[in-house]
Every structure is written in C-alpha cells, then in structure tokens.
Amino acid sequence: MSQPALRCDHRCVHCGATDVTREAWAQWDSRHQAWTVREVFDFAFCHACHRQTRVEISPID
Ligand SMILES: [Zn+2]
C-alpha cells in the first residue's frame, strides 16, 4: 500500500510569504504541446518583499 504524498509550501525565509518563484529552464514538449520545466535553479525571488531570497519548506497540516 502506498502512502499519500506529504503536502508542503515553499516560503520566503525573510517574510514567510508563499509568493516566491525560482529561476528555471523550460523546454518545449512537442508531444504535449506545452512548455515544461526541465531544470530548477537555486535563485529565488520573493514577490511579497520584492527581493532575492531563499525558500524554506513548511509542511501543510
Ligand atoms: Zn519575502
């Protein structure tokens, strides 16, 4: 029997907001006719406090 995946949020370490984005590469997937994320990089930006940040993972109850 498989266990359900644990749900989490990624939050800004400065203000705790979840309005954070990471720098990434997208690659065209011809089969699905959509851009898909190929690689996610360490650079993160918080759109709540408008600065570069790091993200921390917090579990969702
Ligand atoms: Zn922030």
Residue 31 is assigned to a structural domain of this protein: yes
- In this prediction, residue 21 carries a pLDDT of 98
Instruction: Compute and round to an integer the Cα radius of gyration of the chain.
Output: 15
Distance from Cα 9 to the centre of ligand 1, integer Å: 14
Residue 1 is assigned to a structural domain of this protein: no
Distance from Cα 35 to the centre of ligand 1, integer Å: 27
pLDDT (mean) for 5-13 = 93
pTM of the predicted structure, to 2 decimals: 0.79
Range of the domain at 21: 8-59
Transcribe the chain into DSSP letters. Answer: -PPPPPPEEEEETTT--S-EEEEEEEEEETTTTEEEEEEEEEEEEETTTTEEE-EEEEE--
Q: How many domains does the chain divide into?
A: 1
Distance from Cα 40 to the centre of ligand 1, integer Å: 19
Q: What is the pLDDT of residues 16-56, one digit of tens each?
A: 999 999 999 999 999 999 999 999 999 999 999 999 999 99
Distance from Cα 15 to the centre of ligand 1, integer Å: 4
